[in-house]
Structure 1
């Protein structure tokens, strides 16, 4: 099970805009290729000073040890409006 939350924050670290989709369930024994998740914030207004990026996952089978999802190459890309 994978979860992600990305928040655009003001100078007091109060959320201006939020992205938090439903948790993604990755079935046990899944041998599929890697999945990619993307999101673009648009028209969120002025005042953004910080980005809070939180994500992770859990093993839904509750096995002992380090099992569950694998995450790689996570990133946040900032593109000024005039460059879009």
Structure 2
């Protein structure tokens, strides 16, 4: 089993590093993405599209309106909203 993680400092914490050998013995491996590689992290691409194209300025008025808008966006992915990851350039 391989877990792919970005280079957030929490992912390199001492407690994580100390457990790596134990996890590897059990068949769990951690793969870190290269620094500054949002193009390799699919959720980064998705959030960029959500923030730049699918949310409107009026959605940021309050926490409630933002929560509703984010839920609306994710409910419509696959129906009226789609994102083709193969067309993005590195």
TM-score, with normalisation over the residues of structure 1? Answer: 0.20
Q: Which has the higher contact order (CA 8 A, sep 6+)?
A: 1
Q: Which has the higher strand share?
A: 1
Query: Greater Rg, structure 1 or structure 2?
Result: 2
Which has more helix, going by share of residues?
Answer: 2
Query: Structure 2 length as normaliser, TM-score?
Result: 0.20
